[in-house]
A and B are shown apart, each in its own frame.
Chain A
Amino acid sequence: MAAPLCVEVEFGGGAELLFDGVKKQQVTFSGQEGPWDIQNLLVWIKKNLLKKQPELFIQGDSMRPGILVLINDSDWEQLGELDYQLWDQDSILFISTLHGG
């Protein structure tokens, strides 16, 4: 059995409102359900964390346009987007840009 995978997910820029205002939380996946990539993480988030209006966060299989994803402080576009394989202790930050400023 593979070692459990523990990552931190963080929500900002207003996205936290879809998660009851919770900005940061630790998420642990046990090895059997792996391998874990961002695609699977999104499915998991939609099922377990999203409290309301999933269409404001996820569109189809991917992110709603306008919500940025930073993995360990790097734009996910550089890291393979949905195909990026999660490592233990990774930090994934979702920032919404969709509001006035």
Chain B
Amino acid sequence: MPAPTCASCGSARAALRRPRSGQALCGSCFCAAFEAEVLHTVLAGRLLPPGAVVAVGASGGKDSTVLAHVLRALAPRLDISLHLVAVDEGISGYRDAALAAVRRQAALWELPLTVVSYADLFGGWTMDAVARSTAGSGRSRSCCTFCGVLRRRALEEGARLVGATHIVTGHNADDMAETVLMNFLRGDAGRLARAGGLGSAGEGGALPRCRPLHLASQKEVVLYAHFRRLHYFSEECVYAPEAFRGHARDLLKLLEAARPSAVLDLVHSAERLALAPAAKPPRPGACSRCGALASRELCQACALLDGLNRGRPLLAIGKGRRGLREEPPACAPPAAAPTPAPAPPPPTTCAQQNDLRSRSVTCAYQTSIGM
């Protein structure tokens, strides 16, 4: 059967049908509609005010490529300036190729690019070094836990370096829906309390972050890149494990096949979620070392790096999560009097909320939405 005619321009052959409206559009009109929707998301949510200096987390992948391209098109209308920030985790054979893609994009779009590296920021701890350090521990997949936390910190540092007022990342609706499912499946009240946020307002002095593509379906992100002829890097990270997110993703795909609106409905449900008062996480304090948001003495990034530097990479990982100060002494003194058992500590609410109590690991490439 021949494809219908575009409902918008009426002349070209329709290339696709929008899932929500059922409207048949040609490639060009679809791209225009996609851009208009991102514009609406930003304006309605007041995500990027006029004059904002926006650091775009750029990985060379499909989402950040589309994000940068769309924001560049919208920049005059929004009166914002853009600066690409790429993070070099030090994964040989993988990140180099991705960074090459980002450099090409920066040159093509004439956008300034700053690359920040784990090696420089974290005292030589590249992901390859972290992987070697955790390799003998029997939990080699936990290297991805490090990457998620450190990447977030690195992006913050890069954004500050370029004088940014806001950070944007390319998380799409599918990413958000997967994260919502993961948080429910793991009973993570702390994240669920934040899972609905369009972005973080910048607690504890952190730069405000938002995800302008969070209402765009993954399929439409890929189609936009196709019709705009955008080139991106599409290989999986060499350390990507069979992360828990994979299960959430498979479940989401099944749900989507049965009910196409399930992806966006999940995102909207999370936005409207309110937690019972008893379930809300306590107000966080500041890391004693770096001042970032933390519910323990050390924020997650500092705790992880300390473990690495002490030659005990898993110190801040795993069930119980005995931190550095809380390590029991060699001979525990007998309890003088019975004391009530303390409540289990809430998950760290540092810049990146990775739930370290869970045995599962969130892949670096698929950072959870955190705050």
Contact = CB atoms under 8 A, between A and B. Distances in A.
B218 A17 contact: no
Nearest to A64: B253
A70 B235 contact: no
Interface in B119-159: none
Contacts of B363: 100
Contacts of A74: 3, 13-16
Interface stretch (B61-69, B186-194, B273-281, B290-298): B61-69
A75 B65 CA distance: 22
A93 B1 CA distance: 18
Interface string A11-39: 01110010000000000000000000000
A47 interface: no
A13 to B, nearest CB: 5
Given A13-B222, A101-B221, A77 B232 contact: no
A73 B234 contact: no
Interface residues on A, range: 20 to 34
Given A68-B222, A78-B24, A13 B17 contact: no
Contact of B61 (A17, A78, A99): A99
A78 B235 contact: no
B75 interface: no
A68 to B, nearest CB: 6
A68 B219 contact: yes
Size category of the B interface is 35 or more
B346 interface: no
A41 interface: no
Contacts of B64: 101
B366 interface: yes
Contacts of B236: 14, 99-100
Given A78-B24, A95-B222, A100 B366 contact: yes
A100 to B, nearest CB: 3
Contact of A65 (B27, B61, B257): B257
Contacts of A91: none
Contact of B17 (A75, A80, A99): A75
B170 interface: yes
Contacts of A100: 59, 61, 63, 236-237, 240, 363, 365-366
Nearest to A13: B234
B366 A80 contact: no
Interface in A43-101: 65-66, 68, 70, 73-75, 77-80, 93, 95-101
B253 A101 contact: no
Nearest to A17: B235
B221 A78 contact: no
A14 B365 CA distance: 15
Nearest to B61: A101
Interface of B: 1, 3-4, 13-17, 24, 27, 59, 61-66, 170, 172, 218-219, 221-223, 226, 232, 234-237, 240, 249, 253-254, 256-257, 363, 365-366
9 contacts: A12-B226, A13-B234, A65-B257, A75-B16, A78-B15, A95-B222, A97-B221, A100-B366, A101-B66
Interface of A: 12-14, 17, 65-66, 68, 70, 73-75, 77-80, 93, 95-101
